[in-house]
């Protein structure tokens, strides 16, 4: 474990750490554009320059590619360093359009931050800026603004080293250099492509789904878990801050997902998520079921719960199919309050969609449900058994074919979304979705991750956990 000195302070580095890694790990800031902790070192932006004190006045070198050596002395904010960083910033912004006012990255752009910190001066160049391609479609999901690109190559290295599609490269030389895709559509086929939007240090790579949708300072994020597969990647769900809620414009935006980004988690997904995780709005913002029903007729939620209680109380051979999208807390509540009353089987709510990547070596798992592991740990993994003697079927969640319901069986159906089956159930109970409640999922490796509520649920909709407790007296009287 070599010891060296940053700005005169002794610092212990891990074996093989670079000066940049050791500095960041010990609370010393060194700016960086092209370096990324999960990618190889490219060393092309030169902003991470530091001064190494030595004979003859020392020298300047980039910290991201400099291994720590015993006793070395490094200065991160000397006059020489600041002057070099200023020159580097002037070079990087030489042809940059500085169109921050219309750029989605504004507010979270390192180019803005470093310009403010290290340069802060207008361009000294009297030559016109080199114009380049704006809003170039890289894929169906991503557009590229080449004028904003600083050619750090993070996006290129991501597709080479992480997603391994080799979908991106840099072509041509000098001020005509351009990031471009391969012509075989590899970026469209890359299920992890949108990670390049996050790691682009400037506003060059833009997601079409978020393009000009919101300024980031109007948004806040809530920690959540992607339910798209049994990996259970941790994510940030971004939505409008309460103080920026819209009143007269489109108020639906107040309870809409603006975007989803990874919540870095070394135990589950590292710094990445797949594109399905970015598209959680497609899952959660489907038309919702918001009213309880008795055989297709709307009733108050309390009346539907009473009817469900009666069915549970009088059934002789009740079977329950529990949801593998239920949280740990909801599954435990089901077991506690209703588990002894029913023959319980775990239901797969979702299966891979046509064209969806089923499995790979990075994150994506074949089971497209977030909590199957926890459900099977509580209720076993036997296939569902029900027959003509089954007189009550409680179906919790999506994915069950109603044509399989035995002729004599009455049905209680718990579902969050508007679907034709809702009206066929004897009792239909609308339930909340993940973004309206807090809880935990246990992924296929046994790692438990928490999600929190982003939006309030409607009063006509039940929380499954409370619902199972409300049905408990039916067990007592059964
Ligand atoms: S598009 Fe972004 S990540 Fe890619 S090289 Fe340009 S600045 Fe870097
Ligand atoms: S790998 Fe699975 S859990 Fe992770 S973001 Fe993709 S779908 Fe969601
Ligand atoms: S971060 Fe070191 S050269 Fe770019």
Alpha-carbon distance 414 to 422, whole Å? 8
The predicted structure's pLDDT at residue 120:
83
> What DSSP designation does 291 have?
S
384 Cβ partners below 8 Å, 6+ apart? 319, 321, 345, 347
Alpha-carbon distance 230 to 223, whole Å? 17
- How far is CA 417 from each of CA 15, 427, 461, rounded to the nearest angstrom? 53, 15, 11
Q: Which amino acid residue places its CA nearest to atom 7 of ligand 2? A: 228
Q: Which atom of ligand 1 is nearest to the CA of 156?
A: 4
Q: Which atom of ligand 2 is nearest to the CA of 362?
A: 1
Ligand nearest to the CA of 157: 1
- Give residue 372 CA to ligand 2 midpoint distance, Å: 14
354 Cβ partners below 8 Å, 6+ apart? none
Q: Which residues line ligand 1 (CB under 6 A)?
A: 149-155, 179, 200, 202, 204-205
The predicted structure's pLDDT at residue 124:
86
229: Cβ below 6 Å to ligand 2?
yes
Q: Which residues line ligand 3 (CB under 6 A)?
A: 32-35, 43-48, 62, 64
The predicted structure's pLDDT at residue 476:
47
Q: Tokens at residue 443, please?
A: 């992924």
338: Cβ below 6 Å to ligand 2?
no
pTM of the model: 0.95
What is the mean pLDDT for each group of 10 consecutive residues in the chain (478 residues)? 93 96 98 98 98 88 97 96 96 93 95 91 90 96 98 98 98 95 96 98 97 95 98 98 90 95 98 98 97 98 97 96 98 97 97 96 98 98 94 97 95 98 98 98 98 97 97 58
The predicted structure's pLDDT at residue 320:
98
Q: Are 364 and 356 in contact (CB under 8 A)?
A: no
- Give residue 109 CA to ligand 2 midpoint distance, Å: 26
The residue whose CB lies within 8 Å of the most ligand 3 atoms, and thus the one to mutate among 19, 46, 85, 200, is: 46
Alpha-carbon distance 286 to 417, whole Å? 7
- Give residue 59 CA to ligand 3 midpoint distance, Å: 16
Q: Tokens at residue 442, please?
A: 């246990």
- How far is CA 476 from each of CA 30, 260, 307, 435, 469, rounded to the nearest angstrom? 65, 44, 16, 32, 12
- Give residue 234 CA to ligand 2 midpoint distance, Å: 9
- Give residue 425 CA to ligand 1 midpoint distance, Å: 53
The predicted structure's pLDDT at residue 472:
81
Burial category of 174 from C-beta neighbours within 10 Å (exposed 0-12, middle 13-18, buried 19 and up) = exposed
- Give residue 203 CA to ligand 1 midpoint distance, Å: 9
364: Cβ below 6 Å to ligand 2?
yes
277: Cβ below 6 Å to ligand 2?
yes
Q: Which amino acid residue places its CA nearest to atom 1 of ligand 3? A: 32
Ligand nearest to the CA of 272: 2
């Amino acid at each position: 474990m070599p010891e060296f000195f940053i700005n005169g302070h002794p610092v212990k580095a891990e074996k093989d750490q670079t000066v940049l890694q050791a500095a960041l790990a010990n609370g010393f800031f060194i700016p960086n554009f092209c370096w990324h902790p999960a990618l190889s070192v490219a060393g092309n932006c030169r902003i991470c320059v530091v001064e190494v004190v030595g004979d003859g006045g020392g020298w300047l070198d980039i910290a991201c590619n400099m291994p720590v050596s015993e006793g070395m002395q490094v200065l991160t904010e000397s006059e020489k360093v600041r002057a070099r960083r200023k020159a580097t910033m002037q070079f990087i912004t030489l042809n940059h359009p500085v169109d921050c006012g219309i750029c989605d990255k504004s507010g979270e752009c390192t180019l803005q931050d470093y310009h403010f910190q290290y340069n802060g001066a207008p361009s000294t160049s009297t030559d016109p800026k080199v114009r380049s391609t704006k809003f170039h479609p890289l894929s169906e999901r991503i557009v590229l603004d080449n004028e904003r690109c600083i050619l750090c190559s993070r996006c290129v290295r991501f597709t080479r080293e992480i997603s391994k599609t080799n979908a991106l490269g840099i072509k041509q030389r000098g001020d005509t250099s351009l990031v471009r895709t391969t012509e075989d559509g590899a970026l469209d086929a890359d299920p992890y492509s949108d990670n390049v939007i996050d790691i682009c240090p400037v506003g060059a790579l833009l997601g079409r789904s978020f393009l000009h949708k919101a300024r980031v300072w109007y948004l806040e994020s809530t920690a959540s878990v992607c339910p798209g597969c049994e990996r259970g990647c941790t994510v940030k769900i971004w939505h409008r801050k309460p103080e920026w809620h819209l009143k007269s414009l489109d108020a639906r935006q107040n309870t809409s997902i603006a975007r989803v980004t990874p919540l870095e988690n070394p135990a589950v997904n590292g710094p990445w998520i797949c594109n399905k995780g970015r598209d959680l709005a497609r899952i959660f913002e489907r038309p919702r079921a918001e009213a309880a029903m008795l055989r297709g007729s709307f009733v108050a939620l309390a009346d539907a719960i009473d009817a469900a209680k009666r069915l549970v109380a009088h059934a002789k051979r009740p079977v329950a199919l529990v949801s593998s999208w239920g949280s740990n807390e909801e599954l435990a509540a089901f077991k506690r309050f209703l588990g002894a009353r029913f023959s319980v089987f775990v239901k797969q709510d979702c299966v891979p969609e046509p064209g969806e990547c089923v499995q790979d070596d990075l994150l994506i798992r074949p089971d497209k449900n977030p909590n199957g592991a926890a459900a099977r740990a509580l209720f076993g993994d036997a296939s569902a058994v029900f027959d003509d003697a089954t007189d009550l079927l409680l179906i919790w969640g999506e994915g069950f074919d109603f044509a399989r319901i035995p002729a004599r069986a009455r049905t209680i159906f718990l579902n969050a979304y508007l679907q034709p089956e809702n009206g066929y159930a004897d009792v239909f109970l609308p339930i909340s979705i993940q973004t309206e409640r807090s809880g935990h999922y246990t992924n296929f490796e046994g790692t438990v991750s928490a999600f929190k509520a982003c939006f309030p649920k409607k009063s006509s909709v039940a929380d499954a956990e409370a619902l199972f407790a409300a049905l408990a007296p039916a067990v007592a009287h059964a």
